[in-house]
Amino acid sequence: MSLQPQRTVVASEAADWFAANREGLDAEQRRRFTVWLQSSAEHVEEYLTIARLAGELRAAAGSSPVPLAALLEAARAGDEPQVQPRRPVRATRTASARWLYAAAATLAALALGLAWLSLPRTQPAPAAAGLLHFSTQHGEQRSERLSDGSQLSLDTDTAVAVRYEPTQRLVTLERGQVVFAVAHDPARPFRVLAGAAEVIAVGTRFDVYLKGSTTLVTVTEGRVTVDNILTPGATRPAARTPVEVVAGQMVRVESGRPPSGPLPIDASRATAWLHRQISFEAAPLGDVAAEFNRYAAVPVEIETPALRSVAVSGVFSVDDTESFVAFLRSLDGVGVEVTPTGIRVFKK
């Protein structure tokens, strides 16, 4: 799953909401739709752009089953809590059906929405201080766009907590791996706490992988600073400064140790998971199997310890177990047995 340009993401969300509106919203969905509109004027603009492009608005006037005017007014007034809604479940319709839904928008809604865009906001667009949680299950990936325009792409078995405060945007990575595309806001630095690491960014794109007691930070755009999280009552040594990491570099942070010096890295390999791939160059087979197991329904078990250190290279789809098994069988002296509960790898 690759990160989309921000405008493309908003347009896709707007189309989803329009389709959901035509299907009919329950009370919770109506609340989330209002919050989505309220979080950015861009959301309203994209929603109404879909209606404009659909055409034949006048003929469809009054046909919307959702009181959009009331929702827009509630959004302008800031009556709903500022929380980040999850993406609505996509309607099981074709792309053309989505645009047919758009044709049912009303001219009244269009006029009200454009007027809403021109009015001053009574509430700031960024979310107020409040805790949000996002997570994925085994093999699942998802993308979340925050109210300030920042985007989080979560890998398999990942959990994060997000809190926006007046002076900072704070994310705690509880487990797993996330790519952060951070909206520029010098007044509120974007802090990520992950294991023993603290990452601070203003506007950039980087990957954070909490791997056991080790945190790996890889920067793909811009720059970040990385340091250890201070335990309560501890003070940072005066002679030590945070490590600055720029695009194409990676640092490793472990508990009780300062961050390693930045190392050059192929960032496309570190973020290959965005395309549901794992990519390795002369990596131990044990590490490759462990990464594959993060996604696989049937785990790979290397039974012969000596095989775990065999260096391998390649790009593997996490959804193509058969190809991965074929690769293992191609290795000299390696035997593979596939069972309903696991994939045994052993030395012949």
Q: What ranges do the domains of the chain cover?
A: 6-118, 131-268, 276-347
Write down the pLDDT at residue 286. Answer: 96
Write down the pLDDT at residue 181. Answer: 97
* Residue in 28, 326, 4 with CA at minimum distance from that of residue 153: 4
Mean pLDDT of 321-346: 95
Distance CA 296, CA 328 (A): 15
Write down the pLDDT at residue 154. Answer: 97
Name the residue with higher pLDDT: 261 or 247: 247
Mean pLDDT of 14-37: 74
User: What are the structure tokens assigned to 137, written together?
Assistant: 């299950």
Mean pLDDT of 261-279: 94
Write down the pLDDT at residue 240. Answer: 65
Percentage of residues of the chain with pLDDT beyond 90: 53
Q: How confident is the model at residue 25 (pLDDT cuts 50, 70, 90)?
A: confident
Q: What is the per-residue pLDDT across 314-331, written as a single tens digit (0 to 9) for each?
A: 999 999 999 999 999 999
Write down the pLDDT at residue 241. Answer: 79
Write down the pLDDT at residue 214. Answer: 94
Distance CA 211, CA 254 (A): 10
Cα–Cα separations (whole angstroms), residue 36 to 44, 128, 146, 223, 316: 9, 14, 10, 30, 37
**pLDDT beyond 80 at 210:** yes
Q: Report the chain's mean pLDDT, rounded to a whole number.
A: 78
Write down the pLDDT at residue 313. Answer: 95
Most confident of 8-17, 78-87, 237-246: 237-246
Mean pLDDT of 16-45: 72
Percentage of residues of the chain with pLDDT beyond 70: 68
Q: How confident is the model at residue 19 (pLDDT cuts 50, 70, 90)?
A: confident
Q: What is the per-residue pLDDT across 40-76, written as a single tens digit (0 to 9) for each?
A: 667 777 777 775 665 444 344 444 545 555 555 555 5
Q: What is the per-residue pLDDT across 260-269, written as a single tens digit (0 to 9) for each?
A: 889 999 999 9
Q: Is 151 within 8 Å of 3 (Cβ atoms)? A: yes
Cβ neighbours of residue 269 closer than 8 Å, sequence gap 6 or more: 279, 280, 281
Write down the pLDDT at residue 37. Answer: 77
Lowest mean per-residue pLDDT among 26-30, 183-187, 202-206: 26-30
CATH of domain 131-268: 2.60.120.1440
Write down the pLDDT at residue 316. Answer: 93
Q: How confident is the model at residue 237 (pLDDT cuts 50, 70, 90)?
A: low
Write down the pLDDT at residue 40. Answer: 65
* Residue in 1, 297, 292 with CA at minimum distance from that of residue 142: 1
**pLDDT beyond 70 at 299:** yes
Q: Is 269 within 8 Å of 291 (Cβ atoms)? A: no
Write down the pLDDT at residue 250. Answer: 96
Q: Looking at the domain 276-347, which fold is it?
A: Phage tail protein beta-alpha-beta fold (3.55.50)
**pLDDT beyond 50 at 85:** no
